[in-house]
Amino acid sequence: MIKKISLLWICLYFTVYAFGQDPRAKEFFVAGKRKLRAKEYKKAIEYFNKALEVNKVDISAMGARGIAKMGLKDYKGASNDFNAILQLNPRDARTLNNLGTVQMIQKDYKGAIQSFSRALKTRRHPMLFFNRGISHYQLKQYKQAVKDFDQGLAMRPTKGNLPIRLHNNRGNARDMLGNHKGAIADYTAVINKAPGNDNALYNRGLTYKKIYKYKEAIADFDKVIKMGAKFKDVYYHRGMCRNATEDYKGAVADFNKAIELQGDDVLVYNGRGYAKQNLRDDKGAIADFSKAIELDPNNSLGYYSRGGLRLQAQDFKAALADFDKIIQLKPKDEKAYLTRGNIKFKLGDYKGALADFDQAIKLAPKSRKGYFMRGNVKQKLGDLEGAEADWMKAGQVQGKKRN
């Protein structure tokens, strides 16, 4: 599950990036600013270069040139310009924000946090708290992210989409901290302000799904899909919710659409296989689980599901191969040993079955089923005393569970 993050704005204070300038430099600067706003970044840089030829320490031209370089994805050049300004004015919040933005784009989140923190010492602005919160979130520092989003919202910002982004991202951080109620409150706040915000609807749907409120999740995913479903995996998530609510035909339709949009995906094939299994399309389910295994040979869920269907169909040798693989992947899975032991029992491999039940009991000493099945094997091997002891132990374990 991937939460959709509302990303930062590239420039925080460009409109006030103007200081006292030489008249000739100002003329070049104004011309460059027009080109910058038209996204003609190369032309803009040419004008800012001319302004800097007139005055080498023209902070306005230097900062604007850095922003133009960001538009060209020349992040090193942009950083050089911003750092040059900071050599002249180390406390300039505008430049520190823009430097932090470049660092975020380059995934230097620690450096970005330092830049935004320095900026906040000079000017407390909700955008700076937002950007620093995003940086903390990317480092999985969710508590610090929530604190920053809290502080940004406490300043009651009204400009643009900032309040929406603060709520949405605080919701993401709260969700990661297990505060699902708080996360849903944030997403709902966004939806109340902007009913067409598919980002918040998608994120709220994911949180509802996480806390097993499948009907509510489906309702949110329905709305996202009606808006155009820019989130390709929304069909997968709705399909899983439909599986959970036993709408298996609807789930198959969603997984079909997910495969159409996303291509081959292990989770989607596992989900569709489960739906087909419940629709009694065992052949189709086995095909889906086999495809999931093909995509990920270490997919234990696929082996479990396919092995169970093969066991049900009494294809014991094929089922045995699947559970051999599960145990190879998960050597401490007590249930896998119990199932493989049962398969070996049906194949007449009583010694092999006994070894598996021994291991299952070793992993789960209070396994009633393990003792009972091991008793059956011991009976087949002629160890009647051992069988009776295991059956008695199974009864004792069951009695303790009831008490």
How do residues 149-199 score in pLDDT, each as one tens digit?
A: 999 999 999 888 999 999 999 999 999 999 999 999 999 999 999 999 999
| Spans of all domains in the chain | 1-123
pLDDT at residue 159, rounded to an integer: 81
Q: 373 pLDDT exceeds 90?
A: yes
What is the sign, positive or negative, of the torsion defined by CA atoms of 133, 134, 136, 142?
A: positive
Q: What is the pLDDT of residue 9?
A: 45
Residue 268, pLDDT above cutoff 60: yes
Overall CATH class of domain 1-123: mainly alpha
> To 10 degrees, what angle do helices 109-122 and 93-105 make?
170
Number of other residues whose CB lies within 10 A of the CB of residue 397? 17
Q: How far apart are CA 99 and CA 162, in angstroms?
A: 20
Pairwise CA distance, residues 110 & 360, whole Å: 47
Question: Looking at the predicted structure, is the pLDDT value of residue 112 above 90?
Answer: yes
Q: Please name the residue that has the structure tokens 């989607």.
A: 268
For 106, 263, 279, 295, the CA distances from 288, given in Å and listed in that order, are 39, 14, 13, 11
- What residue has token string 């659409």? 257
Secondary structure (3-state) at 335: helix
* pLDDT value at 398 more than 80: no
Q: Output the pTM of the full model.
A: 0.86
DSSP 14: G
